[in-house]
């Protein structure tokens, strides 16, 4: 199942690497201490395929922490941060994060606290890494300076666009079950294929994801969502059985039921198309999340209504209410970002629904009022949601969309309700009628807001003040005579 490899491997990209200051310093220190040292992992992979990389790992067959200090001194870099529990040391070289670790016989996993790792050789270290393409190393040692150390066919797999574990995948995945999710993430980011033997092992071991923290899971999931075409990853997540472990609501979207010959679209694939469409327009992680979740309540609101067909009535509100539960479980942020996602899910039908009748100024004003500064993001989501296969329908929706866009522009220029601030405050009302805080104040404010949104009065303080006085009179309030300030 090739997914569209985007990179080409070129070993010439390693030419000259050992004359670069960082590598030269590591090589010089390795020679001085007579300790074998290697650049390894993601940096080597990314350099071979010409992908930018902001961190670089070195492995030494010895004490990585002392070695890091010596290299930092040579480069006049530092300070060196030592993580004793992990046996690693790190320093920054401009914006490059440089990390050193002693070669180990046990699994390489940054998140496991295993202070008692047995020292090993470079080969021991390589075989305990996740994928062959991540186990490639460059020798920084006299006699083999600059040579690629590739005992598991990493360069071939990189060229073939293949993700395969160096060891029996059952071992690699039991060392760290998150690696199963990493396989899907790399497949999505790089357009690589997961080797069938490795993929079957993921299917077999998917349940083991239960021991992994929600933070580590969402970090990988977010990387999948931030890839150019996340649909690739979501399909792999479903087929591998991993999705069931952390995102059952999304699985529920799958399938198209039929009754009396009437079907509905498969909302799993529809959502993925919307997500890919959004990704073509925006890099914003949270807008992408809104696409992921926009129809999440369709399965729980689905009804078959005789004479009408399938309905998903209220799925936008129910969906918005489901967002916090999903975010909480995945330990995603529960603040502004979540509220933004909720808001977009709740409003996602509004722009197109608005065109069902004539597009009136007041409906557009209300949409601008409700969406505020998020109107542009909402319109991207809404445009991405037009996925009908029926060309006529699609054309109609697209025309309506353009109409709404134009109206939005016109109304906003005229009425400035995008970030509506009530022209009359509660304080004003209390002063005008000499009354204490009470429910009437909210009622009057609502009448003024509605009048502005409906175009009865303009978004203007003098007109709003007049309306307030009239409303107060109707409610039996007596004006204090306090003039309009
Ligand atoms: N690694 C591993 N198992 C893990 C995590 C990491 O074997 N669960 C190894 C891999 O060799 C990987 C290296 O540690 O290349 C560095 O890990 P990390 O920085 O997380 O990943 P990268 O491969 O560098 O990719 P990215 O920066 O895109 O996350």
Do 187 and 206 lie in one domain? The reply is: yes
Q: How many Å lie between the centroid of ligand 1 and the Cα of residue 89?
A: 16
Whether 212 maps to a domain, the answer reads yes
Q: What integer is the mean pLDDT of 183-191?
A: 96
Do 297 and 379 lie in one domain? The reply is: yes
**Which of 162, 186, 219 is at the close of a domain?**
162
pLDDT digits (tens, 9 = 90+) for 287-318: 999 999 999 999 999 898 888 888 999 999 99
Do 194 and 289 lie in one domain? The reply is: no
Whether 197 maps to a domain, the answer reads yes
pLDDT over 70 for what percent of the chain? 95
- The CATH number assigned to the domain holding 126 equals 3.30.460.10
Q: Would you say the CB of residue 267 lies under 6 angstroms from ligand 1?
A: no
**Atom of ligand 1 minimally distant from the CA of 186:** 28
Do 128 and 35 lie in one domain? The reply is: yes
What is the per-residue pLDDT for 141? 95
Structural domain including 298 reads 280-415
Q: How many Å lie between the centroid of ligand 1 and the Cα of residue 110?
A: 8
Least confident among 27-36, 153-162, 317-326, 441-450? 441-450
Least confident among 109-118, 167-176, 385-394? 109-118
Q: Which residue, judged by its Cα, is nearest atom 28 of ligand 1?
A: 42
Do 297 and 341 lie in one domain? The reply is: yes
Do 79 and 103 lie in one domain? The reply is: yes
Q: Quickly count: other Cβ atoms within 10 Å of residue 469's Cβ.
A: 15
Hey, which residues does 119 pair with through a beta bridge?
Answer: 104
Q: How many Å lie between the centroid of ligand 1 and the Cα of residue 17?
A: 21
Hey, which residues does 122 pair with through a beta bridge?
Answer: none
Of 36, 5, 183, the C-alpha closest to 102 is 36
Do 284 and 374 lie in one domain? The reply is: yes
Q: Which residue, judged by its Cα, is nearest atom 13 of ligand 1?
A: 41
Reply yes or no on whether the pLDDT at 47 is more than 80.
yes
Whether 186 maps to a domain, the answer reads yes
CB 345 within 8 A of CB 319: yes
The upper half-sphere exposure of residue 213, i.e. CA atoms within 13 Å in the direction of its Cβ, equals 7
Whether 37 maps to a domain, the answer reads yes
Q: How many Å lie between the centroid of ligand 1 and the Cα of residue 129?
A: 8
Q: How many Å lie between the centroid of ligand 1 and the Cα of residue 4?
A: 22
Reply yes or no on whether the pLDDT at 390 is more than 80.
yes
Do 225 and 299 lie in one domain? The reply is: no
Q: Would you say the CB of residue 220 lies under 6 angstroms from ligand 1?
A: no
Q: Would you say the CB of residue 108 lies under 6 angstroms from ligand 1?
A: yes
**Which of 197, 223, 246 is at the close of a domain?**
246
Q: Would you say the CB of residue 41 lies under 6 angstroms from ligand 1?
A: yes
Whether 434 maps to a domain, the answer reads yes
Whether 167 maps to a domain, the answer reads no
Structure confidence at residue 400 as a pLDDT band (50, 70, 90): confident
Q: Which residue, judged by its Cα, is nearest atom 19 of ligand 1?
A: 42
Q: Would you say the CB of residue 99 lies under 6 angstroms from ligand 1?
A: no
Verify cis geometry, omega within 30 degrees of 0, for the bond prior to 79: yes
Do 27 and 141 lie in one domain? The reply is: yes
Q: Would you say the CB of residue 222 lies under 6 angstroms from ligand 1?
A: no
Q: How many Å lie between the centroid of ligand 1 and the Cα of residue 134?
A: 7
d(CA 176, CA 179): 6
Least confident among 59-73, 183-197, 386-400? 386-400
Do 182 and 223 lie in one domain? The reply is: yes
Q: How far is CA 353 from CA 85, 364, 367, 405, 476, in A?
A: 57, 11, 11, 13, 39
CB 56 within 8 A of CB 75: no
Q: Would you say the CB of residue 134 lies under 6 angstroms from ligand 1?
A: yes
Q: Which residue, judged by its Cα, is nearest atom 17 of ligand 1?
A: 42
Give the number of domains in the chain: 4
Structure tokens at 177: 């079950």
Residue 390 CB contacts under 8 Å (≥ 6 apart), including other chains: none
pLDDT digits (tens, 9 = 90+) for 235-293: 999 999 999 999 999 999 998 887 888 888 899 999 999 999 999 999 999 999 999 99
Hey, which residues does 97 pair with through a beta bridge?
Answer: 55, 92
Q: Quickly count: other Cβ atoms within 10 Å of residue 34's Cβ.
A: 9
Reply yes or no on whether the pLDDT at 372 is more than 90.
no
> Could you tell me the pTM of the whole model?
0.89
Q: Which residue has the higher pLDDT, 58 or 116?
A: 58
**Which of 194, 222, 246 is at the close of a domain?**
246
Q: How many Å lie between the centroid of ligand 1 and the Cα of residue 41?
A: 7
Q: What integer is the mean pLDDT of 19-43?
A: 95
Q: Would you say the CB of residue 129 lies under 6 angstroms from ligand 1?
A: yes
Do 199 and 156 lie in one domain? The reply is: no
What is the per-residue pLDDT for 3? 47
* Torsion angle in degrees (nearest 10) through CA of 103, 109, 110, 113: -90
Whether 260 maps to a domain, the answer reads no
Do 48 and 153 lie in one domain? The reply is: yes
Q: Which residue, judged by its Cα, is nearest atom 12 of ligand 1?
A: 41
d(CA 137, CA 154): 10
Maximal C-alpha separation, the chain: 97
pLDDT digits (tens, 9 = 90+) for 123-144: 999 999 999 999 999 999 999 9
Q: Would you say the CB of residue 433 lies under 6 angstroms from ligand 1?
A: no
Whether 228 maps to a domain, the answer reads yes
Of 167, 174, 238, 245, the C-alpha closest to 207 is 245
Reply yes or no on whether the pLDDT at 349 is more than 50.
yes
């Amino acid at each position: 199942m090739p997914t569209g490899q985007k990179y080409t491997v070129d070993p010439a990209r390693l030419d000259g690497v050992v004359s670069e200051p960082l590598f030269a310093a590591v090589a010089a220190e390795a020679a001085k201490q007579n300790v074998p040292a290697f650049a390894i992992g993601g940096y080597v992979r990314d350099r071979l395929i010409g992908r930018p990389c902001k961190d670089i790992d070195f492995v030494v067959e010895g004490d990585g922490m002392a070695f890091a200090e010596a290299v930092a001194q040579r480069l006049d870099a530092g300070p060196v941060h030592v993580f004793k529990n992990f046996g690693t040391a790190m320093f920054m070289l401009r914006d490059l994060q440089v990390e050193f670790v002693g070669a180990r016989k046990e699994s390489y996993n940054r998140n496991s606290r295993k202070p008692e790792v047995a020292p090993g050789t470079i080969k021991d270290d390589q075989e305990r890494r996740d994928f062959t393409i991540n186990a490639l190393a460059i020798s920084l040692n006299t006699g083999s300076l600059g040579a690629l150390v590739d005992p598991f066919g990493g360069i071939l797999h990189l060229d073939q666009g293949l993700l395969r574990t160096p060891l029996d995948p059952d071992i690699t995945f039991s060392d760290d079950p998150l690696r199963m999710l990493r396989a899907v993430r790399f497949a999505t980011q790089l357009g690589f294929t997961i080797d069938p033997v490795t993929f079957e092992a993921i299917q077999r071991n998917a349940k083991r994801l239960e021991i992994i923290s929600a933070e580590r899971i969402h970090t990988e999931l977010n990387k999948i969502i931030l890839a150019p075409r996340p649909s690739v990853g979501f399909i792999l997540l479903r087929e591998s059985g991993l999705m069931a472990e952390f995102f059952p609501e999304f699985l529920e979207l799958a399938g198209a039921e039929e009754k009396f010959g009437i079907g509905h679209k498969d909302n799993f694939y529809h959502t993925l198309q919307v997500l890919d469409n959004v990704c073509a327009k925006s890099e914003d992680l949270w807008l992408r999340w809104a696409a992921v979740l926009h129809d999440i309540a369709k399965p729980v609101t689905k009804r078959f209504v005789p004479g009408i067909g399938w309905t998903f009535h209220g799925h936008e509100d129910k969906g918005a209410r489901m967002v916090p539960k999903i975010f909480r479980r995945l330990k995603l942020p529960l603040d502004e970002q979540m509220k933004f996602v909720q808001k977009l899910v709740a409003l996602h039908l509004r722009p197109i629904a608005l065109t069902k009748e004539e597009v009136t100024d007041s409906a557009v004003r209300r949409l601008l009022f409700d969406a505020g500064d998020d109107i542009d993001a909402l319109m991207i989501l809404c445009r991405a949601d037009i996925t009908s296969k029926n060309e006529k329908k699609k054309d109609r929706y697209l025309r309506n969309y353009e109409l709404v866009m134009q109206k939005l522009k016109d109304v906003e220029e005229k009425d400035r309700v995008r970030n509506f601030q009530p022209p009359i405050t509660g304080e004003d009302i209390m002063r005008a009628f000499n009354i204490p805080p009470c429910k009437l104040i909210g009622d009057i404010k609502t009448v003024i807001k509605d009048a502005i949104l409906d175009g009865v009065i303009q978004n203007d303080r003098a007109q709003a003040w007049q309306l307030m006085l009239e409303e107060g009179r109707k409610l039996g309030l007596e004006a204090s005579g306090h003039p309009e300030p």
